[in-house]
Amino acid sequence: MARYLTMAAAQLGPISRGDSKASVVQRLIALIRQAHERAVEFVVFPEMALTTFFPRWYIDDRDAVDAYFDSTMPSPETLPLFEEAARRRVGFYLGYCERAEEGNRIRRFNSSVLVDRDGKLLGKYRKVHVPGASENDPTLPLQHLEKLYFEDGNLGFPVFKTASATIGMAICNDRRWPETYRTMALKGAEVVVLGYNSPAQMPDWPDQNALRAFHHLVCMQSAAYQNGLWIVASAKAGREDGFDLLGHSCIIAPSGEVVALSSTLADELVPYRCDIDLAPYYKSFHDFERNRRPDQYEGLLAARGNQRSRADAEACRRYWDGGEPA
Ligand code: CDV
């Protein structure tokens, strides 16, 4: 019998710096209710879905930045979302800023959780490919200081077997890396869900501006086809605190075709009834087991040159310990 799962990207319009998490949660709940009315079983919210995308600024006030983070999930503010989703039997992916106590210290990650239709937490993911800089450069019109505020994720790319499909998670910049999808596909992922905050313009790379939507789609379309995956990608979209974010929330089939695409830059549900069995069908078409040649892929697993990553990690630690950034 064919396996169908109706999924939706639950795109969000802008969230202002002054918006409370509680007010954003009300918007997420409205999308969950819409999903329920449209027989959607699983929705994907964006990266950092509870706050403005604050890494675009250097913010000296650590307490203000720390308020964007949550130590528990559900947190007191998101509990109503978990409860409403369980009541409506809608599972979800939620991106958020995670504060974790590990090894006797506080660590901060750009994370997401996967929640089943009963409101039970199935798993967590921490963004592996953290982009941007760890140094404040006030001369830039738009900064991207993710490396200052977040550590690199340390959970790998886990996949989770649910009643309907095997699901893996990624976050924003991860979608541009082929390793993201291949790692999960080799673990049996049939669906990859991800949220993003992608600037619509790159002031320091202006020649990229006209290609932003194309690159966003082309990396996921090729990954879906090359790995036999459904991909659901959900944007934070629109003009947020004076900066434009790309929309183009979408659902991509294992054929590589975009089967659903957002049409606004506001809160919008983008649903599609997905035939999950297309994932094993495309995997068997490529016949990974038989045809992959890992013996010929030398260098793929070589340690990265980690000079920069160590400096970034130190800058992040100094920031949170109250010192000056590098
Ligand atoms: N939030 C992100 O990871 N944004 C990156 C930007 C920095 C390029 C992205 O890949 O869209």
Spatial contact of 70 and 103, defined as CB atoms under 8 Å apart? no
Strands (E), 117-261: 121-126, 159-161, 166-171, 191-196, 230-235, 238-240, 243-245, 250-252, 258-261
Distance 146 CA to ligand 1 centre (A): 9
- Residue 14's CATH number: 3.60.110.10
Q: Which domain holds residue 151?
A: 4-321
How do residues 46-97 score in pLDDT, each as one tens digit? 999 999 999 999 999 999 999 999 999 999 999 999 999 999 999 999 999 9
Strand duo 42-44 + 91-102: pairing: parallel
Q: Is residue 326 part of a domain?
A: no
In the prediction, which pLDDT does 326 show? Answer: 47
- Is 272 within a domain? yes
Which residue of the set 127, 147, 236, 283 is catalytic? 127
182: how many CB neighbours lie within 10 A of its CB? 19
For residue range 176-206, list pLDDT tens digits in order. 999 999 999 999 999 999 999 999 999 889 9
Atom of ligand 1 nearest to the CA of 216: 11
pLDDT for 325 beyond 70: no
Contact of 140 with 128, CB cutoff 8 Å = no
The per-residue pLDDT for range 224-242, each reduced to its tens digit, is: 999 999 999 999 999 999 9
Ligand 1 midpoint to CA 172 (Å): 6
User: Within a 10 A sphere around the Cβ of 151, how many other Cβ atoms?
Assistant: 20
What's the burial of 57, exposed, middle or buried (CB within 10 Å: 0-12/13-18/19+)?
middle
d(CA 231, CA 189): 10
Q: How many domains does the chain have?
A: 1
User: Of residues 21, 41, 47, 97, which has the active-site annotation?
Assistant: 47
Q: Quote the tokens at residue 326.
A: 């590098």
In the annotation, is 47 catalytic? yes
- Overall pTM surpassing 0.95 (yes/no): yes
Q: What separation in Å is there between the alpha carbon of 198 and the centre of ligand 1?
A: 5
Enumerate the H helices of 62-211 as residue ranges. Answer: 62-66, 79-88, 146-149, 178-186
